[in-house]
């Protein structure tokens, strides 16, 4: 399983992208999913893309108080910290950092 933070322009909010192997990561994925849900990160409302080589990507987001659910400046710090703590509780992250990928227009098409 692989986890990273992702955002797209204007990078006011981010989401947690979880890439997991359908055959052997289910218990770890379910722990991560449950811990993220406890802090308000839920799977996005779009159906996941078809798995590629047995790997499925599920994105978890949390709405903020800004327009269209974007995060306010103080929320970004708090929500990012909550997501990291959830990953630690799930046993995915010892205490290290989560990669943060700022998507470009080309990544989104």
> What's the Rg (C-alpha) of the chain?
14
Core vs surface per residue 17-30: b (16+ CB within 10 A) or e:
bbbbbeeebeebbe
Segments forming the whole domain that contains residue 35: 2-98
Residue pLDDT, tens place only, 11-66: 889 999 999 988 887 888 999 999 999 999 999 988 777 888 889 999 999 999 99
| 10-14, 72-76, 81-85, 86-90, range with the lowest pLDDT | 10-14
106 is a domain residue: no
The total number of structural domains in the chain stands at 1
Measured distance CA(73)–CA(80) in Å, rounded: 11
Q: Residue 104 has which token pair?
A: 């470009």
Output the pLDDT for position 95: 55
107 is a domain residue: no
41 is a domain residue: yes
Average pLDDT over residues 74-83: 94
């Amino acid at each position: 399983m692989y986890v990273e933070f992702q955002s797209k322009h204007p990078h006011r909010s981010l989401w947690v992208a979880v890439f997991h192997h359908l055959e052997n990561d289910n218990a770890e994925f379910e722990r991560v999913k449950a811990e993220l849900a406890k802090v308000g990160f839920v799977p996005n409302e779009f159906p996941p893309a078809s798995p590629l080589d047995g790997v499925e990507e599920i994105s978890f987001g949390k709405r903020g108080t800004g327009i269209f659910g974007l995060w306010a400046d103080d929320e970004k710090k708090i929500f990012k910290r909550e997501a990291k703590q959830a990953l630690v509780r799930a046993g995915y992250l010892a205490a290290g950092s989560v990669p943060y990928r700022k998507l470009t227009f080309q990544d989104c098409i």
